[in-house]
Amino acid sequence: MEKEKKKITLKEIGPARLVMLLMAGIFLVLLSIPNLPSFDKSTKKTTENSGTAVVNTVTAGTKDETKLYVTDLEERLKNVLMKVEGIGAVEVMITLKGSKEEIILKDEANTNESVNEADGEGGSRNSTKTEQNDTTIMVEGSDGVARPYILKEIEPELEGILIIAQGGGSAVIQSEIIEAVQVLFGVPSHKVKVMKMNS
Protein backbone atom coordinates (compact mmCIF):
# COMPACT_ATOMS: atom_id res chain seq x y z
CA MET A 1 0.00 0.00 0.00
CA GLU A 2 1.49 3.26 -1.09
CA LYS A 3 1.65 6.23 1.20
CA GLU A 4 0.23 9.39 -0.27
CA LYS A 5 2.55 12.31 -0.60
CA LYS A 6 0.99 15.36 0.91
CA LYS A 7 1.71 18.72 -0.71
CA ILE A 8 1.99 21.71 1.57
CA THR A 9 0.27 24.76 0.22
CA LEU A 10 0.85 28.43 1.04
CA LYS A 11 -2.53 28.59 2.72
CA GLU A 12 -1.54 25.88 5.21
CA ILE A 13 1.81 27.61 6.07
CA GLY A 14 0.22 30.99 6.53
CA PRO A 15 1.68 34.43 5.84
CA ALA A 16 3.29 34.83 9.30
CA ARG A 17 5.28 31.56 9.03
CA LEU A 18 6.24 32.38 5.43
CA VAL A 19 7.73 35.76 6.47
CA MET A 20 9.63 34.07 9.31
CA LEU A 21 11.07 31.43 6.95
CA LEU A 22 12.07 34.11 4.46
CA MET A 23 13.85 36.18 7.16
CA ALA A 24 15.66 33.08 8.49
CA GLY A 25 16.91 32.34 4.97
CA ILE A 26 18.19 35.89 4.47
CA PHE A 27 19.88 35.78 7.88
CA LEU A 28 21.69 32.49 7.01
CA VAL A 29 22.86 33.93 3.68
CA LEU A 30 24.23 37.06 5.38
CA LEU A 31 26.09 35.02 7.99
CA SER A 32 27.81 33.02 5.28
CA ILE A 33 29.29 36.14 3.58
CA PRO A 34 32.85 36.84 4.89
CA ASN A 35 34.04 40.33 5.95
CA LEU A 36 30.53 41.68 6.23
CA PRO A 37 30.31 44.68 8.57
CA SER A 38 28.20 44.06 11.64
CA PHE A 39 24.78 45.67 11.89
CA ASP A 40 25.32 47.19 15.32
CA LYS A 41 28.00 49.56 14.03
CA SER A 42 27.71 51.92 11.11
CA THR A 43 30.95 53.70 10.31
CA LYS A 44 31.18 56.77 8.13
CA LYS A 45 34.56 58.14 7.15
CA THR A 46 35.23 61.37 5.32
CA THR A 47 38.69 62.43 4.32
CA GLU A 48 39.57 65.91 3.17
CA ASN A 49 42.86 66.96 1.66
CA SER A 50 43.38 70.65 1.21
CA GLY A 51 46.59 72.12 -0.10
CA THR A 52 46.87 75.74 0.96
CA ALA A 53 49.77 78.11 1.08
CA VAL A 54 50.60 79.29 4.57
CA VAL A 55 53.22 81.61 5.93
CA ASN A 56 55.63 80.73 8.66
CA THR A 57 57.71 83.27 10.51
CA VAL A 58 61.23 82.06 11.12
CA THR A 59 63.87 83.84 13.15
CA ALA A 60 66.76 84.39 10.79
CA GLY A 61 70.23 85.79 10.90
CA THR A 62 73.15 85.24 13.21
CA LYS A 63 74.43 87.53 15.95
CA ASP A 64 77.02 88.87 13.50
CA GLU A 65 74.30 89.85 10.99
CA THR A 66 72.31 91.58 13.73
CA LYS A 67 75.42 93.40 14.92
CA LEU A 68 76.19 94.56 11.37
CA TYR A 69 72.61 95.79 10.99
CA VAL A 70 72.81 97.82 14.22
CA THR A 71 76.26 99.22 13.36
CA ASP A 72 75.01 100.32 9.94
CA LEU A 73 72.01 102.11 11.49
CA GLU A 74 74.20 103.81 14.10
CA GLU A 75 76.72 105.03 11.49
CA ARG A 76 74.05 106.36 9.16
CA LEU A 77 72.26 108.23 11.96
CA LYS A 78 75.55 109.61 13.29
CA ASN A 79 76.59 110.89 9.83
CA VAL A 80 73.23 112.58 9.25
CA LEU A 81 73.09 114.28 12.67
CA MET A 82 76.68 115.58 12.44
CA LYS A 83 75.68 117.58 9.33
CA VAL A 84 73.03 119.55 11.24
CA GLU A 85 74.10 122.95 12.56
CA GLY A 86 74.49 123.18 16.32
CA ILE A 87 74.66 119.40 17.01
CA GLY A 88 78.44 118.98 16.60
CA ALA A 89 80.13 115.63 17.25
CA VAL A 90 77.77 112.72 17.85
CA GLU A 91 77.86 109.20 19.29
CA VAL A 92 74.89 106.87 18.73
CA MET A 93 73.86 103.62 20.42
CA ILE A 94 70.86 101.58 19.22
CA THR A 95 69.38 98.53 20.95
CA LEU A 96 67.05 96.03 19.26
CA LYS A 97 64.09 94.03 20.44
CA GLY A 98 64.48 90.51 19.02
CA SER A 99 66.16 89.69 15.73
CA LYS A 100 65.40 89.63 12.01
CA GLU A 101 62.52 87.39 10.89
CA GLU A 102 61.83 85.82 7.52
CA ILE A 103 58.33 84.99 6.28
CA ILE A 104 58.66 81.60 4.54
CA LEU A 105 56.00 80.17 2.22
CA LYS A 106 54.78 76.68 3.18
CA ASP A 107 52.26 74.31 1.65
CA GLU A 108 49.88 73.04 4.32
CA ALA A 109 47.94 69.79 3.74
CA ASN A 110 45.17 68.96 6.21
CA THR A 111 43.59 65.51 6.44
CA ASN A 112 40.35 65.26 8.42
CA GLU A 113 38.83 61.86 9.22
CA SER A 114 35.37 61.70 10.80
CA VAL A 115 34.02 58.47 12.29
CA ASN A 116 30.35 58.12 13.26
CA GLU A 117 29.57 54.87 15.12
CA ALA A 118 26.09 53.72 16.11
CA ASP A 119 25.52 50.72 18.37
CA GLY A 120 22.55 48.35 18.45
CA GLU A 121 21.06 50.05 21.51
CA GLY A 122 20.53 53.38 19.76
CA GLY A 123 23.65 55.15 21.10
CA SER A 124 26.12 56.90 18.83
CA ARG A 125 29.65 58.23 19.04
CA ASN A 126 31.42 60.77 16.82
CA SER A 127 35.19 61.14 16.65
CA THR A 128 37.36 63.32 14.44
CA LYS A 129 41.04 62.87 13.66
CA THR A 130 43.03 65.67 12.01
CA GLU A 131 46.52 65.38 10.54
CA GLN A 132 48.53 68.37 9.38
CA ASN A 133 51.57 68.18 7.12
CA ASP A 134 53.60 71.26 6.24
CA THR A 135 55.99 71.34 3.31
CA THR A 136 58.38 74.24 2.82
CA ILE A 137 58.33 75.62 -0.74
CA MET A 138 61.90 75.53 -2.05
CA VAL A 139 63.37 77.64 -4.86
CA GLU A 140 66.62 76.93 -6.66
CA GLY A 141 68.96 79.89 -6.76
CA SER A 142 71.37 80.88 -9.53
CA ASP A 143 74.09 78.91 -7.75
CA GLY A 144 71.99 75.72 -7.98
CA VAL A 145 71.29 75.54 -4.23
CA ALA A 146 67.66 75.07 -3.12
CA ARG A 147 66.51 77.57 -0.48
CA PRO A 148 63.14 78.25 1.17
CA TYR A 149 60.95 80.74 -0.72
CA ILE A 150 61.00 83.94 1.38
CA LEU A 151 57.96 86.20 0.97
CA LYS A 152 59.48 89.04 2.97
CA GLU A 153 62.01 89.89 5.66
CA ILE A 154 61.07 91.78 8.80
CA GLU A 155 63.85 93.77 10.38
CA PRO A 156 64.07 93.70 14.18
CA GLU A 157 62.14 96.31 16.17
CA LEU A 158 64.16 99.12 17.73
CA GLU A 159 64.11 99.02 21.52
CA GLY A 160 65.85 102.29 22.29
CA ILE A 161 68.18 104.96 20.88
CA LEU A 162 70.77 106.90 22.86
CA ILE A 163 72.39 109.96 21.24
CA ILE A 164 75.26 111.83 22.85
CA ALA A 165 75.90 115.14 21.06
CA GLN A 166 78.09 118.20 21.70
CA GLY A 167 75.03 120.43 21.38
CA GLY A 168 72.87 118.02 23.41
CA GLY A 169 72.65 120.47 26.32
CA SER A 170 70.28 122.76 24.37
CA ALA A 171 66.56 121.99 24.64
CA VAL A 172 66.03 123.08 21.02
CA ILE A 173 68.75 120.71 19.73
CA GLN A 174 67.38 117.86 21.86
CA SER A 175 63.90 118.42 20.42
CA GLU A 176 65.23 118.51 16.83
CA ILE A 177 67.23 115.29 17.34
CA ILE A 178 64.23 113.47 18.84
CA GLU A 179 61.98 114.63 15.99
CA ALA A 180 64.54 113.53 13.39
CA VAL A 181 64.85 110.07 15.00
CA GLN A 182 61.05 109.70 15.12
CA VAL A 183 60.80 110.54 11.42
CA LEU A 184 63.59 108.15 10.45
CA PHE A 185 62.74 105.16 12.65
CA GLY A 186 59.12 105.66 13.71
CA VAL A 187 59.92 105.16 17.40
CA PRO A 188 58.06 107.01 20.16
CA SER A 189 59.86 109.89 21.88
CA HIS A 190 60.15 108.05 25.21
CA LYS A 191 62.48 105.52 23.50
CA VAL A 192 64.92 108.25 22.44
CA LYS A 193 67.38 109.82 24.90
CA VAL A 194 69.58 112.78 23.97
CA MET A 195 72.50 113.75 26.23
CA LYS A 196 75.26 116.37 26.17
CA MET A 197 78.69 115.11 25.23
CA ASN A 198 81.50 115.64 27.74
CA SER A 199 83.78 118.34 26.31
Spatial CA neighbour of 114 closest among 101, 124, 99:
124
| 48 located within any domain | yes
Q: Residues with Cβ < 8 Å from 102, sequence gap 6 or more?
A: 57, 58, 60, 148, 150, 152, 153, 154
CB 193 within 8 A of CB 140: no
| 28 located within any domain | no
0.95 exceeded by pTM: no
Parallel, antiparallel, or unpaired: how do β-strands 157-165 and 192-196 relate? Answer: parallel
| 35 located within any domain | no
pLDDT per residue rounded down to tens, the chain (199 residues): 555 666 666 667 777 777 787 888 887 777 777 655 554 444 444 444 444 445 555 555 567 788 888 999 999 999 999 999 999 999 999 998 877 777 777 777 777 777 777 776 767 777 777 777 777 777 787 888 887 777 787 778 889 999 999 999 999 999 999 999 999 999 999 999 999 998 7
| 15 located within any domain | no
The total number of structural domains that make up the chain? 1
| 152 located within any domain | yes
Domain limits for position 61: 41-196
